[in-house]
Structure 1
C-alpha cells in the first residue's frame, strides 16, 4: 500500500504545476485558479502551494533559460504541463529548502496525477542532469533574465528609472508585508493595538498612516482579532493614502469610480460623516465583494454597476463634489503581491489601457461640480499611465488644473510611489481641481 503522505505530496506538486500551466499557457490569473487548488489541501499545504507557484513566477526567466539548455524540443499538447512540472523542480532545487532527492523523486511521481506517466523518464533525466551539472550556478550574463522580469517590462523600467532599477527589481521580487487599516468607526487605533498584543501578534507602525498597522508576519486574516466585528480592513499603505488625498468633507456627494474591492470606499466613509457616496464598478461579481466588505465593516453606500466611460447609462445627472478615479491599469506597482501580473500583462496591453484611462478621465470630469476635486490614481509605475496621462489631460481640458501640492517637479506632475517605498506598493496619485468658473 502506498504512503498517503507521499501521495499527497505528489498531488501537491501536480496541482502546483497545473496552476502554473493555467497561468502561463491559458492566461488565467492566480486569483482564478490558485484558490480552487488550495481548497483541496490542508492549511500548511495551501501555503506551500502558493509559495511554490509564486516562486516559479518570480524566477521564471532563469528557470526557462535552464529549461532551454536541457530540453531539446518544446513539449506539446497534453504533455506541455510537464514543462511546468520541470520548472517547479528547478525552483525547488535552486531556490527552496526542499532536498534534492525529494525535489526529483516527488516531482517525477507528480506525473501520475497529471496523467502524463509517459513523461516520467524525461522529467527524471532533466532534473538529474540539472543537479549533476550544478545548473543553479550556471547563470547567463543577461540583466533581463536575472531581473525576473519579461523583456518588455525590463526595458520600460530601465528607461524610466535607470538609477533606481536595481532597487525596483529587488522590491518587485520580494514578499510584500501585510498592511491593515483600522476602522476607527468601530475601534480606536490604540485599542486595536492592545488587542493584537493580547494575541501575541507582532506589528509595526507607519509614520505616514494614522490608521495603519503592519504585521511582522503573514496571518490568517479571518482569525485576527476583530475580523467579524469589522475592526480592520486589509489595505496596503499606498492604497490607504487615497481617501486622505481625496479629503472628503461632511455632507458631500462623492463618487468612488472603479471601486472594487471596496477598501477605498470604506476608508472614505470612515473619514467624514453624512456622505452621499456612490461606489461604481463595471463587474457585478466584483461589486459583490464591495458589498461584503462594506457590510463587515458596518458601512453603507449606494452601489452602482456600470461602465465609467459611459455615464449616460447609469448617472442621475447630479454632479459630484469629489471623485476618486482609481483607474484600470497595468498593475505593475503590485507585482510583488501578484507575480502572475508580469506574465499575464503584455506590452501591447499598455496602449489599450491608456486609451481606457483617457476615456474614463474625460467622462468623469463632466460629472464633477465646478470647484470640485478629482483624484486620479493607479497601481502602476509606468509613465504613460501616470504623469504622461495627466499631462495630456491638462493640455486638452481648459477648466482643469493641477493641485499645487501634487507638482512633483519641473517635469512631472503627481506623486509616484515606487514599490518598497516606506514598505508600500507602487502607486501613483494626482489631484486635479475643476475651475469654479462656469463656462457658458
Structure 2
C-alpha cells in the first residue's frame, strides 16, 4: 500500500479493503486481520470506521456481489480480490452505513489509486455514483451466503425459526454491559451513564446487565478502567445464573478465554475458589489482564492446559462446579463474528463434536459427588448441544440433567437454547448436569 500517497480519509478505506480481501478471498480470520491492521490507525474514529465497514460487508456480502453482477459488463477476476473488496467498501459506506456520499466516494476513489489501481479509479467512481443514485439492487431475502450444508442443518433443527435466525444473524448486535456489583450498584451505574449522555435499559432476568440504546466507545464508559463495568452479551451473562455456584465453592472454568464468565463468577462471589484453564497461553494472558482491571486477579488460579488432559493439570481435588464453555461452531454469534460462516466447513462439526465429548468425559471426573457441570456453547446446532448432552447422559451412569427456567431459552429435551436475537442476546445453549452423590 502506498501510504505516503494517501490522504487521511482514503487510508481507512484502503485498510478495510485489505482486511476484507484477506477474509473473503484468502480464508483469514476477521478478528486476526483487524488486530494487525487497526493499530496502524492512530485516530479511534478511523479504527471504528474500518470495523464498521468490514462488519457491514461480511454480514450481507450477497447485496454487494449482486450490485457488481448487475452493473459490471465484465466481471472481476480472481486476481482482482482487493479491487472487489474496495468496491464493497464503497457500497457499504452508502448503504447500510449512510455516510455522507461525497466523502465516501472521494475517499474510496483515492484509495483505489493508493492501492495501485489508478486505471480503475474512474470505474470505482462510476459504480459508486450509480449506487448513490439508484440504491443497491434488491436481493431475495431467501438467498444467503451461509453455506448450503449449514443452512440445511439450521432449517432441520429450527424449521419455524430458520428465516429469523438468518435475519437476526445479519444485523448488528446491541451493546451489553455487565456491571461489577462489587464496585457499584447497577442502577447507580446507569445514572452515571446517563450523566455521560449514554442511555441504557435494564432487562428483567439479567441482574447485572444494561443494554445500551446505541453504542459507545469503551473509553467513554465511566469507570471502565477502574473495573466498574465490562462488555458482555446477555446470553453469556446468564452462565453465572445457570451454574449457580454456592458461596465459597471450588469452581473450574475449563475453557476460560476471553475470561468474561470467570470474572462474572468472581464479581458475584469473591470468596469463590476459581481455577481457570485455557489451552492457549496468549488467550490466557488476556484473561489475566481482564481480571487485573477488575481487581480480581488474586482470586483466581490461571493455568495453561488442555482441560481434557487431567494428568497435566489436575491435583485430584474435586470441584463443586465445573463450567465447560465448549469449543463449538460459533453459529449463535454470527452477528458478532460474521466471517464464521465463510470459514466453517462441514467436516468441522464432526471434529468439534469429538472434542466436546472428550472434554465432557474427562471433566466429569473432576466434579465432586453432588456437584454440577454446566455445558454451554455459542452454537445453535442440535448435534453440538442437546444431542451431545443426551449421548453423554446415556454413557454416564451418575449424571442427570436438571431443568433450567424459561429465561434460559427454548426448552429442549435436555438443556435450553437461546437463538440469535432472543431477548437481544446471542445464540447460546445451556445444560446443567448434576453428579450423583
Q: CA deviation at 1:118?
A: 4.7
Please name the residue that 2:62 is paired with. 61
2:310 is aligned with 1:295: no
Compared CA separation, residues 102 and 276, structure 1 to 2 (3 A): closer
Gaps in structure 2 of 5+ consecutive residues: none
Please name the residue that 1:428 is paired with. 429
Please name the residue that 1:335 is paired with. 334
- The residue correspondences of 1:100-249 to structure 2 (distance < 5 A) are 105-120=106-121, 123=124, 136-139=136-139, 141=140, 143-145=142-144, 148-249=145-246
Identify the range of structure 1 (358-367 vs 107-116) with the bigger mean alpha-carbon deviation: 107-116
Identify the range of structure 1 (40-49 vs 302-311) with the bigger mean alpha-carbon deviation: 40-49
2:76 is aligned with 1:49: no
User: TM-score, normalized by length of structure 1?
Assistant: 0.89
2:354 is aligned with 1:355: yes
Find the aligned partners of 1:410 and 1:92 in 2 and give their Cα distance: 41
Find the aligned partners of 1:58 and 1:409 in 2 and give their Cα distance: 25
Native 8 Å contact 1:153 1:347 kept in 2? yes
Please name the residue that 2:77 is paired with. 75
Compared CA separation, residues 155 and 68, structure 1 to 2 (3 A): farther
Gaps in structure 1 of 5+ consecutive residues: none
Compared CA separation, residues 11 and 310, structure 1 to 2 (3 A): same
Please name the residue that 1:15 is paired with. 15
Native 8 Å contact 1:248 1:271 kept in 2? no
Q: CA deviation at 1:411?
A: 6.0
Q: CA deviation at 1:364?
A: 0.6
Find the aligned partners of 1:94 and 1:268 in 2 and give their Cα distance: 41
Please name the residue that 2:308 is paired with. 309
Q: Deviations over 1:22-72 (max 9, x none)?
A: 111232222212244333152322222222111110111232244345364
Indicate the SS of the match to 1:331.
coil
Q: Deviations over 1:255-301 (max 9, x none)?
A: 00110111110111122353221001111111111101111111120
Q: Deviations over 1:397-416 (max 9, x none)?
A: 11111113479899621010
Q: CA deviation at 1:117?
A: 3.4
Indicate the SS of the match to 1:330.
coil
Indicate the SS of the match to 2:18.
helix
Please name the residue that 1:417 is paired with. 418
Indicate the SS of the match to 2:178.
strand
Find the aligned partners of 1:214 and 1:185 in 2 and give their Cα distance: 19
Native 8 Å contact 2:410 2:417 kept in 1? no
**Root mean square deviation, CA, Å:** 2.6
Native 8 Å contact 2:247 2:271 kept in 1? yes
Find the aligned partners of 1:28 and 1:240 in 2 and give their Cα distance: 29
Compared CA separation, residues 142 and 273, structure 1 to 2 (3 A): closer
Q: Deviations over 1:121-167 (max 9, x none)?
A: 554566567779x582353x57123xx53433322222222222232
Native 8 Å contact 1:249 1:273 kept in 2? no
Please name the residue that 2:37 is paired with. 37
Compared CA separation, residues 396 and 74, structure 1 to 2 (3 A): farther
2:272 is aligned with 1:275: yes
Please name the residue that 2:92 is paired with. 91
Q: Deviations over 1:352-398 (max 9, x none)?
A: 11111111111111111222100000011111111111111111111
Native 8 Å contact 1:256 1:279 kept in 2? yes
Native 8 Å contact 1:399 1:435 kept in 2? yes
Q: CA deviation at 1:80?
A: 2.5
Q: CA deviation at 1:185?
A: 1.4
Compared CA separation, residues 74 and 15, structure 1 to 2 (3 A): same
Q: How many residues align?
A: 428
